[in-house]
Amino acid sequence: MRGRDVARSGGPELEPSLQHPSSAPASLPAAPTRRRLLAGLGAGLGAAAAAGALAACGGRTSPVSPAADPSPAGPSAPSGGALTIGAIPDQDPEVLQRLYGLVADSMAEATGLAVTYRPVTDYAAAVSLFRTGDLDLVWFGGLTGVQARRQTPGAVVVAQRDIDEDFRSVFVVNEATGLAPSEDLTELADLRFTYGSQTSTSGFLMPASFLTEQGVDPRGFPGGPGYSGSHDATLQLVASGSYEAGVLNEQVWVARSEAGEVDPAVRLFSRTPPYHDYHWLLGPDAVERLGEDLPERLQDYFLGLSADDPDDARVLELFGAGSFVEARASDHAQIEAVGEQLGLLR
Q: How far is the CB of 40 from another protein (least distance, A)?
A: 8
Residue 229 or 274: the one with the smaller Cβ distance to another protein is 229
How many Cβ atoms are within 10 Å of 288's Cβ, its own excluded? Answer: 12
CA-based diameter of the chain, in Å?
66
Residue 100 or 269: the one with the smaller Cβ distance to another protein is 100
Q: What would the DSSP string read from start to end of 91-147? A: SSHHHHHHHHHHHHHHHHHHH--EEEE-----HHHHHHHHHHTS-SEEEE-HHHHHH
Residues ≥6 apart with Cβ < 8 Å to 101: 41, 44, 45, 71, 117
Pattern of binders to another protein over 109-128, x per CB under 8 A?
---------xxxxxxxxxxx
Residues between 284 and 343 with contacts to another protein, criterion CB under 8 A = 343
Residue 119 or 304: the one with the smaller Cβ distance to another protein is 119
Instruction: Report the Cα 211 to chain-centroid distance in Å.
Output: 23
Residue 75 or 224: the one with the smaller Cβ distance to another protein is 224
Query: Which residues on adjacent β-strands are paired with residue 138?
Result: 86, 281
Separation CA 142–CA 277 (nearest Å): 4
Among 3, 181, 227, 303, binds another protein (CB under 8 A): 227
- Strands of the 279-282 sheet, one edge to the other: 114-117, 82-87, 137-140, 279-282, 156-161, 324-325
- Told to check if 132 binds another protein by CB under 8 A, we report yes
Pattern of binders to another protein over 76-105, x per CB under 8 A?
-------------x--xxxx-xx-------
Q: How far is the CB of 309 from another protein (least distance, A)?
A: 25
Pattern of binders to another protein over 252-291, x per CB under 8 A?
-----------x-x--------------------------
Q: How far is the CB of 150 from another protein (least distance, A)?
A: 9
Q: How far is the CB of 139 from another protein (least distance, A)?
A: 15
Among 243, 253, 280, 319, binds another protein (CB under 8 A): 243
Separation CA 325–CA 157 (nearest Å): 11
Q: What would the DSSP string read from start to end of 184-247? A: -GGGGTTS-EEES-TT-IIIIIHHHHHHHHTT--TT-STT--EE-SSHHHHHHHHHHTSSSEEE
Residues between 31 and 70 with contacts to another protein, criterion CB under 8 A = 38-40, 42-43, 45-50, 52-53, 57, 60-66
Q: Which stretch binds another protein (CB under 8 A): 74-82, 239-247, 268-276, 321-329?
A: 239-247
Residue 123 or 302: the one with the smaller Cβ distance to another protein is 123
Residue 128 or 212: the one with the smaller Cβ distance to another protein is 128
- Told to check if 21 binds another protein by CB under 8 A, we report no
